[in-house]
Copies of this chain bind each other. A is one copy, B any other.
């Protein structure tokens, strides 16, 4: 049972060690985190707005979305989380959820008790630092979303989003063509970009006709990475994903 948790935690650990330096012992502390793994059906909210949680949700498979709502019930997706992301890591330190979480597609979620993460962070200060840094990467992404929604037109917005997700999936950008799982409906794409599903449809058609990307059947198929990145005005620096090993950070002294 404990071992069945490992794949999800391993991907989370990979995410941490991509940016932070952790000792073998610290890494093991992550892999040893306890939790309940369970299925979530598509379109199911699994953390409600203003819910006070006692666990953080690790996405093991599928895609999760964080979203807010306006007065008329219009949804705005504020973050997408792919496998290996801790969708509400911030809840460790701020348990009142400021926004709800929804499964975009059917998937698997591991609920990891706050106390266990807190205990690991208290025992290993470098872990606390790595977790804090991980939250800051999500904040940098969020900040880019504001720019995307506020200052780009529909075509750029969608192109940018597709680039971001592809990049986070580590789709190889050098390969001319690339494929990845993209289970968002057009309505959800609209909720992520501040557009209506009708307009998303037209924009996707236009991107397809330009020979840049084809989205559908729960997949995205990028034909022209450079072209897509250009219309999407996409610069991956903010994702902090191309960090060379020697650039990874550790402030806390090794004990």
Chain A interface residues toward B at CB < 8 A = 50, 66, 68-71, 74-76, 78-79, 90, 93-96, 98-99, 118, 122, 125, 128-129, 131-133, 135-140, 142-147, 149-152, 156, 193-194, 233, 237-238, 240, 249, 251-253
Interface centre among A70, A76, A133, A147 (most CB of B within 10 A): A147
What chain B residues lie within 8 Å of A151 (beta carbons)?
Answer: 68-70, 74-76, 194
Please give 6 more A-B residue pairs, beta carbons under 8 A apart, in addition to A68-B147, A94-B240, A131-B132.
Answer: A70-B233, A93-B249, A98-B237, A99-B140, A122-B253, A146-B149
Which residues on the B side are within 8 Å of A78 (C-beta)?
Answer: 143, 146-147
Number of copies: 2
29 A-B pairs in the complex with CB atoms less than 8 angstroms apart: A68-B146, A69-B151, A70-B156, A71-B156, A74-B151, A75-B151, A76-B150, A78-B147, A90-B136, A93-B132, A93-B133, A94-B136, A94-B137, A94-B249, A95-B249, A98-B140, A118-B251, A125-B128, A128-B129, A128-B132, A131-B132, A138-B139, A139-B142, A142-B143, A142-B146, A145-B146, A146-B146, A146-B149, A149-B149
Given A94-B136, A132-B135, A194-B151, decide whether A146 and B238 contact each other with a Cβ distance below 8 A.
no
Shortest Cβ distance from residue A231 to the other chain B in the assembled complex, whole angstroms = 9
Return chain B residues, CB-CB under 8 Å to A145.
146
Contacts A66-B143, A143-B99, A251-B118 given; does A150 touch B50 at CB 8 Å: no
Nearest CB of B to A90, in Å: 5
